[in-house]
Amino acid sequence: MIRAKREETSLIVAFIDVNGLKAINDRHGHAAGDALLHEVAAAIRLRLRPYDPLVRVGGDEFVCAVSGLDMDAARARFDEIDVAVVGGSISVGLAKMGPDDTLQALMERSDAELRPGRRDS
């Protein structure tokens, strides 16, 4: 956030939910659920820059930040990630940083914007 403000560039926070993880764990075991989480993380990492932070914040949730993209480009990028996840799907909420945003406010807005992935719409 500090770098985006300093460089006067956009910053978008994505709140990502792995759809159906509990059902996969229940049906196929925790090893299958772990494999799905690894697949999601790898799909995200392959489509973002090495310095875009990615953090797992819950059992089936990730948060990441991308700078220099507008909302349409960010949405397209996360749609690509959803399609790349072969063993499941994701829901993504995006929020663009405003001048007075805190990290907590930005994360709360992105969480509130969660929408189903392309294949779940």
Choice among 52, 60, 79, 100 that is catalytic: 60
| In the block, residue with structure tokens 């494999």 | 35
- What phi and psi values does residue 71 have, to the nearest 5 degrees? -60, -40
Contact 106, 68 (CB under 8 A): no
Whether 111 sits among the annotated catalytic residues: the reply is: no
Q: Which of 98, 97, 93 is nearest to 112 (CA)?
A: 93
List active site positions: 60
